[in-house]
Amino acid sequence: MYKAPLKDLRFVMHNLLGDDQLAGLPGLEEYSPDFTDSVLEEAGKFAEEVLQPINRVGDTRGAKWTAEGVVMPPEFKDAYAQFAAGGWAQLRASPEHGGQGAPTMLGTAVEELWASANLAFKLCPMLSQSAVEAIERCGTPQQKETYLPKMISGEWTGTMVLTEPQAGSDLAAIRTRAVREGDHYRLHGSKIFITYGDHDLTSNTIHLVLGRVEGAPAGVKGISLFIVPKVLVKADGSLGERNDVRCVSIEHKLGIHGSPTCVLSFGDKQGAVAYLVGEENRGLEYMFIMMNAARLSVGLEGYALAERSYQHALAYARTRVQGRPGGKSGPAEGKPLPIAYHQDIKRMLLTMKGYADAARAIALYAALQLDLGRRHTDESMRAAAQSRGDLLIPIVKGWSTEMGLLATSLGVQIHGGMGFIEETGAAQYYRDVRITTIYEGTTGIQAGDLIGRKVGRDAGAAMNALIADMLSDLDSLKGTPIGAAAIDAVRKLREATQDLLDAHRRGPEQPQAVAVPYLLLCGFAIGGWLMAKSDDLTRKNVTNDAEFNRSKQQIARAYVEHILPQAQAYAAVVKSGSTSIVDADPALF
Amino acid sequence: MYKAPLKDLRFVMHNLLGDDQLAGLPGLEEYSPDFTDSVLEEAGKFAEEVLQPINRVGDTRGAKWTAEGVVMPPEFKDAYAQFAAGGWAQLRASPEHGGQGAPTMLGTAVEELWASANLAFKLCPMLSQSAVEAIERCGTPQQKETYLPKMISGEWTGTMVLTEPQAGSDLAAIRTRAVREGDHYRLHGSKIFITYGDHDLTSNTIHLVLGRVEGAPAGVKGISLFIVPKVLVKADGSLGERNDVRCVSIEHKLGIHGSPTCVLSFGDKQGAVAYLVGEENRGLEYMFIMMNAARLSVGLEGYALAERSYQHALAYARTRVQGRPGGKSGPAEGKPLPIAYHQDIKRMLLTMKGYADAARAIALYAALQLDLGRRHTDESMRAAAQSRGDLLIPIVKGWSTEMGLLATSLGVQIHGGMGFIEETGAAQYYRDVRITTIYEGTTGIQAGDLIGRKVGRDAGAAMNALIADMLSDLDSLKGTPIGAAAIDAVRKLREATQDLLDAHRRGPEQPQAVAVPYLLLCGFAIGGWLMAKSDDLTRKNVTNDAEFNRSKQQIARAYVEHILPQAQAYAAVVKSGSTSIVDADPALF
């Protein structure tokens, strides 16, 4: 049974990162850590009581395609209705249109709970939130008035419609055609991999679609963003005719079976009615505005499933009695013991939790930077926080999801043979998490963004500023084993950053060949910093909870001894790993 | 389309490891590298043409339980009939009862092809082979005569029946009861996780079952091994009545759906007729005799799926055109290119193949040691080879399957969104391979065997002998980057071995806490040795195939730059990673 890790979240937000600095900022006048606590408590209940129990229903029964549209399991319809009624769709949306305007940091904390409890469900509000953000930031006043209130209340959902068969990571290849027709456009094209592209949870779905206006320039500079409602909205706000868009099929996937992944066909008949968002040919730019939020939200899925998988494995390890570990540890000398007392099981459990805790801390730190970047009263502070947030996003997305793969695999392993049996449930996390390193930009795409736009473009300024802050923060801990190990890892990151910048000067190929290893190194090292800091805080008893402190200290130590050595390995790869890749001839593979 | 990697196998067996040293040994008088080549060629055809095409059938339709027994897909029945008719079930069995007596090394090479083409199918002959070996080594002449000819011809299959709900890794907890009744016993008990425990591929299945004779001592010293035929065999060899054993259900699993994993109930009525193998209470000992072969065979599954997944991803990467990698590499300046030209895709492909090649080399080297240990004419050579083979088995089983997890995950990743779609096929390898680190003893069990029975018991003698041989072998390569890196990794293994032995003296817990990291270090370092050696041989052009040489050199370099740095990380974990685990209190998890 999943329990929302509220203590962990409170510790990270209040003690480790200090969310009180958000209180009173413009737009966050009402914010307080106490408010966060009450929201988290309610969200935790909803996750545990409503979303968790139907996670396996989503997996086993899943979404079903019919000629009339995608049919969701009734349990999902019911849960969605409760979700909307509870106001959860509003949390992060702007108050102008009925949202609660919660900071990104709190939104991130809450979304972890949805993702842990039921990843397939979580994707629906996540995509809606992205669509809301697109309209909030780039829509006309009339578009905002028409769509936002019902999307923010949860009465309607939204989607992001980007991918085409020939245009996956490379959006320049998009072909969907838009033809001007008075105040709107007619859209024709086929889109794939559209999450919640069709469903029966709500009466309408607002698609945000990338397409190309006839006569637009080739490549990314000719892409526009359109609003395409599934059902057209009349002037009085009521629903009119069905638009010319339909779900042709849904994918049969490795995981997240409860989330329909749709092939959408636009304009089979007269063309789908589409409304331009912002200006023509600036669609990709608008899309990138939302990308940070979406990538952060997928990043958290990595540790959300690590946490869920950890809790599942721990519960099993505490009850499965099997053999006796050597040595003296544990009660009842000589008798078989729960496997939680076996050293190798302890190693796996601590490693899983180490991944989850470090990734959560990094993600919430990144979210805090985005909030400060948007809200801080000081312009230079805003700029610094925004650039740090931007720097961290690909690391959160890439590292956290890659660690999610490792953690959920350990979760299966701890169950032994039972882990391979679907009814046990451990395998579902292993399957579900597998998409997280792929959608919203693969780990390779994140790493390219990191070394190009985030580290290369400013010649390492934002990264070196972060490194300097981490080292100064860790200076007082240099006498402790954990502090020393964290400092060592951050220094390796500093050297690797220099290596990478040097390689940049020799052209783009060499850094590309070690971009993912560099991204992973970033995650391990930044995680080391935050785990060392968290260890230090528990030693100073900031929580006033001795048991929690000791628990966190165990995990920090395991992180440093069992996970952080990976920083060495990846630093070595960054240092000398590019030529073996660049020189390799694909014809000889 | 899977292509059997015959060039790779020939290179490893003939050039890298020198299988000609087997020729002429007692029992291998007929053996020659040419014989191996012709067997591999035929096996490759069978794997490609018969087993590969039904791999997805096994996955999607799978085995079905009915009250009358498990029904296999008709395609599997047909393939099995061809398998038996082709004499493949005989390959490794002893000639006395119709086998071909092929060396373990050749058997290992051939089984890789079965596993790559169709893992679910491969498990059936693998389990039969284990059962044959048990009867060959421990059965009475009459048992041999009754069962072996038909099992070796493939007319009947065999199983290994060990696990019970409360007795997984801990076989001491076995409860299945055997009651003496004249010249046989009556067996009562429930067994789980029995691979091919029931099926309709053949007219009979011979179960080898662990049970406890009434009044036997508690624990592992009271376990006996029994032959329990599904259908009783009359004195004239014809089939008689059904025995009192039935398949109660089959598991719904993450992968290998074509392989029925059965719950077997023995003795619901009058008790299943069971024949003792060897002496009472020595069952576990007999089981361990076969364990090496079975663990080697599961180990090869790790790289078999890495290889298959690599081939699948490579084919996709060569045809999927998407974006343009930066820099100058590749043809057709300025145009989109197949993703095989993107540096990060090249990195993933080379990493996958590096895992497969290194693991294959280690496994075949281990198999060669087992052959020499059994056949060498010099007794001290036999003893040395046997102890080296014994040492390597847990490393092959543990490391190769763990690398299989990583490789198949990269295989999904290279496909991007398509990797998550089941029809693509990449996800099946990712699911299928997940059992390999679990069955026939988890990675943790292998690591415990390695540090206990294999390294601890002889105070590191066998391991240090291997290390000395590797270092002396690599000495001539110390001037090359690859040689130097391999030497460095082997030295780290030498230090870690010493660290481990020191920790042993402080009790069993500390080494247990770093047993898996130590096992992984062994794999990376031994792999480094064999990849460096292989690189050197291709530079000396032993193959007379310039393209093959360059291909292997690319992979060796990528292994050293991208995979071998893991040896550093795990050496650091072994050095300082035990206390964080041992000291951790499971109550605080």
Mean pLDDT, residues B350-370 taken together: 98
Asked if residue A472 is part of any domain, the answer here is yes
How far from chain centre, in Å, is Cα A393?
A: 9
Question: Which residues of chain B does A434 touch, with a Cβ-Cβ cutoff of 8 Å?
Answer: 409, 412, 420, 427, 430
Residue of chain A whose Cα is closest to the Cα of B428? A254
- In 3D space, the residue among A131, A89, A137, A145 whose CA is nearest the CA of residue A230 turns out to be A131
Is the CB of residue B406 less than 8 Å away from at least one CB of chain A? no
Residue entry with tokens 């699911």:
B431
Asked if residue A480 is part of any domain, the answer here is yes
Condensed to tens digits (0 to 9), the pLDDT of residues B517-571 reads 999 999 999 999 999 999 999 999 999 999 999 999 999 999 999 999 999 999 9
Note whether A254 contacts B588, CB cutoff 8 Å.
Answer: no
Condensed to tens digits (0 to 9), the pLDDT of residues A413-461 reads 999 999 999 999 999 999 999 999 999 999 999 999 999 999 999 999 9
pLDDT of residue B290: 79
Kindly give the pairing relationship between strand B205-213 and strand B177-181. Answer: parallel
- In 3D space, the residue among A502, A459, A369, A480 whose CA is nearest the CA of residue A21 turns out to be A369
Note whether A551 contacts B588, CB cutoff 8 Å.
Answer: yes
Using an 8 Å Cβ cutoff, are B489 and B525 in contact?
yes
Question: Which residues of chain A does B336 touch, with a Cβ-Cβ cutoff of 8 Å?
Answer: 170, 173
A440 counts as catalytic? yes
Identify whether residues A141 and A72 lie together within a single domain: yes
A–B: how many Cβ contacts below 8 A? Answer: 297
Beta strands in A72-176 (DSSP E): 157-161
* B87 phi-psi bin (left φ>0, alpha ψ -120 to 50, beta other): left
Asked if residue B397 is part of any domain, the answer here is no
Question: Which residues of chain B does A447 touch, with a Cβ-Cβ cutoff of 8 Å?
Answer: 344
Of B173, B434, B584, the CB nearest to A420: B434
Interface of B with A in 548-577 (CB under 8 A): 550-551, 554, 557-558, 560-562, 565-566, 568-570, 572-573, 576-577
Q: Using CB atoms within 10 Å of the CB of residue A479, give its burial: 0 to 12 exposed, 13 to 18 middle, 19+ buried.
A: exposed
Asked if residue B394 is part of any domain, the answer here is no
Is the CB of residue B218 less than 8 Å away from at least one CB of chain A? no
A276-315 b/e (C-beta count within 10 Å ≥ 16 → b): bbbebbbbbebbeebbbbbbbbbbbbbbbbbbbbbbbbbe
Condensed to tens digits (0 to 9), the pLDDT of residues B429-457 reads 999 999 999 999 999 999 999 999 999 99
Q: What is the CATH number of the domain that holds B38?
A: 1.10.540.10
Interface of A with B in 179-208 (CB under 8 A): 192-193
- Residues contacting A383, CB < 8 A, separation 6+: A373
Res. B334: pLDDT tops 70: no
What pLDDT band is residue A507 in, cutting at 50, 70 and 90?
Answer: confident
Question: Which residues of chain A does B516 touch, with a Cβ-Cβ cutoff of 8 Å?
Answer: 344, 347
Identify whether residues A146 and A169 lie together within a single domain: no
Q: How far apart are CA A298 and CA A399, in angstroms?
A: 11
Of A168, A434, A547, the CB nearest to B430: A434
- Residues contacting A430, CB < 8 A, separation 6+: A309, A408, A409, A411, A412, B254, B434
- In 3D space, the residue among B72, B84, B158 whose CA is nearest the CA of residue B120 turns out to be B72
Asked if residue B364 is part of any domain, the answer here is no
- Domain total of chain B: 3
Of A169, A551, A581, the CB nearest to B323: A169
Identify whether residues B14 and B130 lie together within a single domain: yes
- What the block records as the tokens of B145 is 């005569």
Last residue of a domain, one of A153, A176, A202: A153
Identify whether residues B223 and B209 lie together within a single domain: yes
**Residues of B with catalytic annotation?**
440
Question: Other C-beta atoms within 10 Å of A553: how many?
Answer: 20
Is the CB of residue B319 less than 8 Å away from at least one CB of chain A? no
B347-368 b/e (C-beta count within 10 Å ≥ 16 → b): bbbbbbbbbbbbbbbbbbbbbb
Question: Which of A169, A254, A319, A570 is the best substitution to test chain B (most B C-beta atoms within 10 A)?
Answer: A254
Question: Which residues of chain A does B168 touch, with a Cβ-Cβ cutoff of 8 Å?
Answer: 322, 416-417
Identify whether residues A223 and A276 lie together within a single domain: yes
Identify whether residues B129 and B164 lie together within a single domain: no
Last residue of a domain, one of A281, A312, A331: A281
pLDDT of residue B333: 58
Condensed to tens digits (0 to 9), the pLDDT of residues B25-58 reads 999 998 999 999 999 999 999 999 999 999 999 9
- Residues contacting B45, CB < 8 A, separation 6+: B4
Mean pLDDT, residues B244-266 taken together: 98
C-alpha distances in Å from residue A55, one per residue of A73, A414, B70: 11, 21, 30
Is the CB of residue A434 less than 8 Å away from at least one CB of chain B? yes
Condensed to tens digits (0 to 9), the pLDDT of residues A170-188 reads 999 999 999 999 999 999 9
First to last CA, chain A: 46
Using an 8 Å Cβ cutoff, are A477 and A486 in contact?
yes
Identify whether residues B11 and B149 lie together within a single domain: yes
pLDDT of residue B299: 98
Condensed to tens digits (0 to 9), the pLDDT of residues A292-310 reads 889 999 999 999 999 999 9
- Which sign does the torsion angle of CA B65, B69, B75, B76 carry? positive
Identify whether residues A570 and A468 lie together within a single domain: yes
Mean pLDDT, residues B205-218 taken together: 97
C-alpha distances in Å from residue B297, one per residue of A421, B125, B231, B401: 22, 11, 28, 11
C-alpha distances in Å from residue B579, one per residue of A537, A560, B446: 21, 12, 21
Res. A334: pLDDT tops 70: no
Residue of chain B whose Cα is closest to the Cα of A311? B589
Q: How far apart are CA A482 and CA B47, in angstroms?
A: 52
Using an 8 Å Cβ cutoff, are B70 and B200 in contact?
yes
B442-454 b/e (C-beta count within 10 Å ≥ 16 → b): bbbbbbbbbbbeb
Of B252, B417, B588, the CB nearest to A439: B417
Condensed to tens digits (0 to 9), the pLDDT of residues A96-129 reads 999 999 999 999 999 999 999 999 999 999 999 9
Identify whether residues B14 and B136 lie together within a single domain: yes
Asked if residue A243 is part of any domain, the answer here is yes
Is the CB of residue B74 less than 8 Å away from at least one CB of chain A? no
pLDDT of residue A293: 85
Q: What is the CATH number of the domain that holds B214?
A: 2.40.110.20
Q: How far apart are CA B12 and CA B537, in angstroms?
A: 10
High-pLDDT (> 90) share of chain A, %: 95
pLDDT of residue A331: 53
CA distance B317 to chain A (A): 10
What pLDDT band is residue A332 in, cutting at 50, 70 and 90?
Answer: low
Condensed to tens digits (0 to 9), the pLDDT of residues A214-234 reads 999 999 999 999 999 999 999
Angle formed by the axes of helices B119-138 and B74-85, nearest 10°: 50
High-pLDDT (> 70) share of chain B, %: 98
Identify whether residues B559 and B497 lie together within a single domain: yes
CA distance B406 to chain A (A): 9
Give the up-direction half-sphere exposure of residue A238: CA atoms within 13 A in the CB hemisphere: 2
Q: Is B242 helix (H, G, I), strand (E, B) or coil?
A: strand
Identify whether residues B147 and B10 lie together within a single domain: yes
Question: At residue A140, what are phi and psi to the nearest 5 degrees?
Answer: -80, 165
Mean pLDDT, residues A523-548 taken together: 97
Q: How far apart are CA B282 and CA B35, in angstroms?
A: 38
High-pLDDT (> 90) share of chain B, %: 95
pLDDT of residue A323: 85
Of A322, A507, A547, the CB nearest to B588: A547
Is the CB of residue A484 less than 8 Å away from at least one CB of chain B? no
Is the CB of residue B165 less than 8 Å away from at least one CB of chain A? no
Show the domain range for B494.
Answer: 443-581
Q: Is A133 helix (H, G, I), strand (E, B) or coil?
A: helix
Identify whether residues A188 and A260 lie together within a single domain: yes
pLDDT of residue A291: 82
Of B347, B557, B569, the CB nearest to A565: B569
Q: How far apart are CA B528 and CA B522, in angstroms?
A: 10
Asked if residue A407 is part of any domain, the answer here is no
Asked if residue A505 is part of any domain, the answer here is yes
Is the CB of residue B429 less than 8 Å away from at least one CB of chain A? no
Last residue of a domain, one of A224, A255, A281: A281
Note whether B329 contacts A252, CB cutoff 8 Å.
Answer: no
Question: Which residues of chain B does A550 touch, with a Cβ-Cβ cutoff of 8 Å?
Answer: 585, 588
- What the block records as the tokens of A242 is 């069905």
Mean pLDDT, residues A386-402 taken together: 98
How many helices (H) and strands (E) chain A has is answered by: 19, 12
